[in-house]
Amino acid sequence: MKAREASRHRARWARWLYSAALYALSPLIWRRVWREQVFAYSRWQRLGRIPDAPTAGNAIWLHCASVGEVQAARPLIEALVARYPSQCLVLTTMTATGAERASALAESLGKNGAKGKVKHYFVPLDFPGAAWRFVAQLRPRLAIFFETELWPNLLHACERIGVPVTVVNGRLSPRAFERYRKFLPLFQDALSRIDWLAAKSQSDAERFRMLGMPHDRITVVGSLKYDLMVDDELFKRSKCLHTSWGERPVWIAGSTHPGEDEQLLLAHARVRDVLPEALLILVPRHPQRFDDVAQLCRDHGMKVARRSWNEQPELQTAVYLGDTMGELLCLYGAADIAFVGGSLVPVGGHNLLEPAAMGTPVVTGPELANFSDVAETLREAGALVEVADGEALAQELVRLLGDEPECQRLSHAGQAVVEANRGALVKTLEAIDQYLPPK
């Protein structure tokens, strides 16, 4: 009993110190928020003040960090809208790019018969007052946090107000685990307020347990990313794009980062030494970098066409800049080979399953901490090509672009992996049902 009380005391102090640190850093935090603003959204949302909120007790709240998480959560979002038609789905994000993607998704769902059923807001900053204000106003029937979005004061507010909390597609990379372990009392307290956590792998589940998540509240269900649905219309759009560029070889580098684009452009130059008509579709991860990357291409002596300007790649065009939002899947499908970014620099990689689902052979660099389990599954199926650096990437691209049978094999193997590992969505929805009984 004394040990338990001492643990609670440490947790209270840890959360108090965490909140104090947030207040001390608030000028820097607010400067970042100022940059992450979208014109249509009031900055007051960052302090928990939400306009036109659904009636209290009439919403399901799903929080995703940014654009990648919104895209990965799309099957879950669509399923929740269909499964609970009387509820409003409130979707929150932290970043401006996430907000834009969430708004586009809400608009798309509205056109398909769910008008007004999905609302998007910026998640409040994790100050105690802002967190309490947001949760108290919304009073959702269920809070769902996607992946590793563990905000101590938001979780505390949910518990105080009586909102059940689940974490879906829960992942915790070794790097994140080491970082969180430095603040163990704080995250033990946060995890104690979660009613159920759906881990995407056994190793993720074990790391959550080591941080203090109760064993009986964790279920390994697999990754929701495998439940990515691709319709025939998307395949048709991708094929039309590829056809419009003629018979030239095309490769794509998706979700790229600073320090990586330079390596990719050097690799592309080496590819064009062998295949002069080769076209690179370059898709930076963050839209604020679009102009800089366009200039970077010109600095490397490459003619660039920008998709956002409706420019069509000519035969002399070396780079087609994918500077639009929400089209990465389509562009992956339009390429002969896909390199997934964030893997030649220490970022941890991005979603390897998106090009695989589109039937495009997948190539990655060595930095895969965020997708190590997915990479292992693709690797075991012979559906992943791994390179150590930009030089090795150029060699592999030349090899693959000249080996159509191998590309076909990689394509079929990748799609087979995606199909064989579906099912996390069904398991997640069955568990969520327990927290959303009929009103």
Enzyme catalytic residues: 69
Q: How far is CA 339 from CA 21, 106, 264, in A?
A: 40, 29, 9
- For residues 302 and 295, give the distance between their C-alpha atoms in angstroms, rounded to a whole number: 10
Q: Which residues pair with 252 in a beta bridge?
A: 281, 338
Can you tell me the distance from the alpha carbon of 269 to that of 263, in angstroms, rounded to the nearest whole number? Answer: 10
Tally the residues of the chain: 439
Backbone dihedral region of 301: left (phi > 0), alpha (psi from -120 to 50 degrees) or beta?
A: left
283 forms beta bridges with 254
Query: How far is CA 279 from each of CA 195, 270, 386, 387, rounded to the nearest angstrom?
Result: 49, 12, 21, 20
**199 φ, ψ (degrees, to nearest 5):** -85, 145
Tokens 């390596």 identify what position?
Answer: 263
Nearest to 432 by CA among 82, 220, 196, 157: 196
Residue with tokens 């679009």: 290
Using alpha carbons, select from 399, 377, 245 the residue that is nearest to residue 317: 245
**3-class SS of residue 307:** helix
User: Could you give the CA distance from residue 330 to residue 220 in angstroms, rounded to a whole number?
Assistant: 31
Cα 270 to Cα 395: distance, rounded to the nearest angstrom: 8
Mention every residue, 6+ apart, whose C-beta is less than 8 A from residue 246: 315
Q: Give the HSE-up count for residue 109: Cα atoms under 13 Å, Cβ half-sphere.
A: 26
Rg (CA), the chain: 22
